[in-house]
Structure 1
Amino acid sequence: MQMRRKTVQDVMTRAVVAAYQHTSFKNIAQIMIQRGITALPVICDGRKVIGVVSEADLLTKEQHKDDEKRPWLESRHDRLSRAKARAVTAEELMTTPAITIRPDTTIAQAARLLDRHRIKRLPVVDDQNVLLGIVSRRDLLRVFARPDEEIREEIIQEVLTRLLMADPEAVSINVSNGIVTLGGTLEQRSLIPIVTRLIAATEGVVDVIDELGYVDDDTTEAAHRVPRA
């Protein structure tokens, strides 16, 4: 059973502000302040993504202003940080290779990638690494802003009617603040965990409260016993 899951292309921002390789340090800082963003993809000709410049990359210049030069005591991380502190263009500042994402990636996969790398935004690229958009943590949270009635209607049409071919009249569905409460009776007990799992996977659902009953308990040993010939 496959549900149509929302993907990055459903929520990403398509009007992307980017920096070119030779964009100056000051220009990058101005763009970030004016646009209220924390990172910029760096692109070359053809809008291919070659790196990302973040606020942290810019702040290395301030961080190392009063440093005493002791190269023999520096770690590799310190050397790279000091090099960024001397940078004056996007190409010198950027972190490369950039962590990017494809537009057909699911919302759940995108959230895991952002969390794993502790970043707030990801450039969205095609199979040629051409910039298509940007997806942020805030974009991913949009699914939880769906109206309760919209979530309820999707559960009825997508889960009960299309996937399970069940009678939607047999199940009562109440959605409040994204929390789905299920009541009513299903024909078979084995359907209950399937229904709750599919509903929990519906975009915007915060939690599922299962109050479902059943007519036939097909999960018992007797129900699965093969009669002897």
Structure 2
Amino acid sequence: MITVEEAMQTDVIKFKDVDTISYVSNVLREKKISGAPIVDEDNKVMGIVSEGDIMRLIEVHSPNINLILPAPLDLIELPVRMRLELDEMAEGVAKAASVLIGEIMTKKVISIEKDASISDAAELMDSHKINRLPVVDEKAKLIGIITRGDIIGALGKKE
């Protein structure tokens, strides 16, 4: 049996709930990861954030354009409407970037302990449709993270 401890990563990118979405997004992109745990000052897991959480915050506005036989006034009005919608979208993205990650993080965190098997981790990820599990000790303190890629990698090493 391969344990979570054998497959997990111990050098974990983590955030505080007071970090901004702009900061978190930049770190996720730089480190080429799609999510990370949020911890308190005692390193206890209090949430998790993913690219999906950030994407849900940003509303995408699409112009409502009538392309079939527009009326003459539509042709004059269309550029003005499109400009207003683009300005509105830019304002929405700027507001979203300043939101604190604690406001959008997933607070109900599914975690696992280091002594569990990787098959238990895989089952948890599959049943909850998640891509990563924080690995915690008996006091709910973060000690690592295991991803789907870690599980697949661990299976490859055992051959």
TM-score for both structures, normalised by structure 2:
0.74
Matched, 1:94 2:105: yes
How far did 1:65 drift? 4.5
| SS of 2:154 mapped into structure 1 | helix
The equivalent residue for 2:87 is none
Identity in percent: 31
Q: Is the Cα contact below 8 Å between 1:61 and 1:86 reproduced in 2?
A: no
Higher RCO, Cα 8 Å, sep 6+: 2
How far did 1:86 drift? 9.1
5+ residue gaps, structure 1: 68-84, 147-202, 205-229
**Residues in 2 aligned to 1:87 and 1:48: alpha-carbon distance in whole angstroms:** 24
The equivalent residue for 2:26 is 30
Q: Is the Cα contact below 8 Å between 1:87 and 1:93 reproduced in 2?
A: no
Residues 1:129 and 1:87: Cα distance change in structure 2 (over 3 Å)? farther
5+ residue gaps, structure 2: 63-95
**Residues in 2 aligned to 1:56 and 1:43: alpha-carbon distance in whole angstroms:** 19
The total of aligned residue pairs comes to 126
The equivalent residue for 2:61 is 66
| SS of 1:124 mapped into structure 2 | strand
Q: Is the Cα contact below 8 Å between 1:25 and 1:58 reproduced in 2?
A: yes
How far did 1:61 drift? 2.6
The equivalent residue for 2:36 is 40
Q: Is the Cα contact below 8 Å between 2:21 and 2:97 reproduced in 1?
A: no
Q: Is the Cα contact below 8 Å between 1:21 and 1:44 reproduced in 2?
A: yes
Radius of gyration: which is bigger? 1
| SS of 1:20 mapped into structure 2 | coil
- Name whichever structure is richer in strand by fraction: 1
TM-score for both structures, normalised by structure 1:
0.52
Matched, 1:54 2:32: no
How far did 1:97 drift? 1.8
Residues 1:137 and 1:22: Cα distance change in structure 2 (over 3 Å)? same
- Name whichever structure is richer in helix by fraction: 2
Where do 1:112-191 residues align within 5 Å?
Answer: 112-146=123-157
Q: Counterpart amino acid of 2:61?
A: D
Q: Counterpart amino acid of 1:96?
A: K
